[in-house]
Structure 1
């Protein structure tokens, strides 16, 4: 005569499965939120850097750049300096040569006004 384990009831199995599903959903949503939050911060800082680079280009050349690619690949040198510098270091460029935001969308740049914005839905007015 040994001790016999009682068989688990079907509702116990369902409860364990539901608990696993709920925990997985909570962890998954937290990971998604953290990724999106990181991309938002990156977009904020990229916009600041790109807009500053546009202003620097305008200051040096007395005109707005014709495209963002001109800033991403262009160099400048102040009078009296021997060092040539880039307008922006490590610009995020896609395989087509266009500057893109952290969400993978191309930035919208108006060369007449010098205004830059993201083309990702929900971030157009940042």
Structure 2
């Protein structure tokens, strides 16, 4: 399987990336801009999408009931040399499934994620999957 995107500079404040029929405005302004995602935010978005897609893939395979899911991610960047040193996440699901079944879902989402498997070779990724309304412990 192959993937393709094309990115183009619009001006000194932004760029655009296209894939299939989708288009996303990029924050490539050195000063930053609030109405577009910067490269790190795009990377985290790809990881979030990977996790959500993994959940969608696992629901029918594991015969689970998931009524909603949300992923929050945070990356820590060092300056010299510039790189991400850690990524943390929280997946929150609305589901009546048991904790054991939710743990199985979590393991499978991480195990079969193209982006999560690729990124985990470069930066530590740690996080939790919890039921909505459940307190973190």
Using the size of structure 2 for normalisation, the TM-score is: 0.30
Richer in strand (by share) = 2
Q: Which has the higher helix share?
A: 1
- Compute the TM-score of the two structures, normalised by the length of structure 1: 0.32
Bigger radius of gyration, 1 or 2?
1
